[in-house]
Amino acid sequence: MIPRYTRKEMAAIWTDQHKYELWLRVELLACKAQAQLGIIPESSLNNILKNATLNIPRIAEIEEKTKHDVIAFISSIEEVVGEDSRFIHLGMTSSDVLDTALAVQMVEAGKLILVGMERLRDVLKQQAIKYKHTICIGRSHGIHAEPTTFGLKMALWYDECNRNIKRLTQAIDDAAVGMISGAVGTYEHISPEVEKYVCSELGLKPANVSTQVVQRDIHANYITALAIAATLLEKIATEIRHLQRTEVLEAEEYFSAGQKGSSAMPHKRNPISSENICGQVRLLRSYVIPALEDNALWHERDISHSSVERIVLPDATVTFDYILNRAIDVVENIVVYPDNMLRNLNVTKGLYASQKILLALINKGLKRQDAYVMVQKSAMETWSQSIPFKQTIIKNADIMQYFNESELEQFFAFDEIISKVDYIYNRLGI
């Protein structure tokens, strides 16, 4: 991912430096385990631990010739360790190092993402409480429906955020799997005790069964969990983009001092963060298919997955981490316009009360479709002639034979909405 959309905390996890450090750690832990089993002499182990160091330019130089990154890595270590280097990588295959180190990176990236997700959840909860009773119009198909509250939008996102945290936590736990089982995963040339030790030291679980690789359904699940969580960020951003439209302007992104919205038009204040989030979610979603396709490899393994995940895993985590933190900033600093919400709610001149009147007529004993026709007649008059709905109802003798004007007034109040929102919040525990 390009630096413009990368946070340094996440970028550090996917550097070549960190990758090679993890490879070396896996190799050294394996040597320690082999020494405990009496396979590597103590003096040789001490020499390996003392002298095995990284030389990344040298690794790159060797790889130019070998066309194999792990061999280049091991060869560079052999040059500084000397004769005892024969014990390094003993009984192991490349994927023992690659997949075990990759699991550590996935866990590290996942934990960083979880910190952000928990922060987003906290911010959504704060805003849900702040705007709990801020009345606004709810929309279906983009058309005014019935009143809701702005806080309830935040509460819905808060609830979904909790589900995503659970999904991501499980996916990260599933990804915390390593293997040190040798070629095709049979332990023919290395003891399972080595795998147990290495994985324990790295905070991983040994794979129950592997071929020459950890199975890629684990990685696909991880990417899919990220993609699902990203759709929440897109949902939030899409809503804010709509609410910031000039004709609506119920909420907008914070516009900082000195910020510019357009090179041509000085008046512009654009929802650029929300648009950026929506755009990058498209990219992140596209990684799900190749991640799924990585699971079906030839026989015990091939490396068709390798080139994919070298791109997909860093890019997906870097992208998600970036837009997650951008979404947190947008939600935390959102500017809300309650007066505009009430103005927009009244654009349809009270039509939001149509269902209340429909249900009240049904409660008076009318058949539903008969009552619907009666209310729709007045509603369409309001639509076509821009007459307040209350007036078209009063003019409708078929309806008014069942109500007096005092009863009619209650249909346009928000008391019921407020009480039911309280019920929803109680169920959410906020």
Residues assigned a catalytic role = 141, 262
**Is residue 40 within 8 Å of residue 90, measured between CB atoms?**
yes
Closest to 230 (Cα-Cα) out of 142, 167, 314: 167
Separation CA 321–CA 117 (nearest Å): 9
Paired with 143 in beta bridges are: 140
**Is residue 137 within 8 Å of residue 341, measured between CB atoms?**
yes
Closest to 223 (Cα-Cα) out of 299, 159, 283, 300: 283
Crossing angle of helices 368-385/354-363, nearest 10°? Answer: 150
Beta-strand runs (E) in 213-294:
251-252
User: Residue 157 to residues 7, 117, 142, 306: CA-CA distances in angstroms?
Assistant: 24, 12, 19, 36
Q: Which residue's entry shows tokens 């399972």?
A: 192
Q: List the structure tokens of 129.
A: 């409480």
Kindly write down the DSSP assignment for every residue of 23-37, as one continuous string: HHHHHHHHHHHHHHT
Closest to 294 (Cα-Cα) out of 215, 184, 212: 215
Nearest-10 Cα torsion for 109, 115, 119, 120: 30
Phi, psi of 166 (to 5 degrees): -65, -45
Q: List the structure tokens of 426.
A: 């109680």
DSSP state of 351: G
The maximal CA–CA distance of the chain, rounded, in angstroms, is 103
Phi, psi of 423 (to 5 degrees): -60, -45
In one-letter notation, the amino acid at residue 258 is G
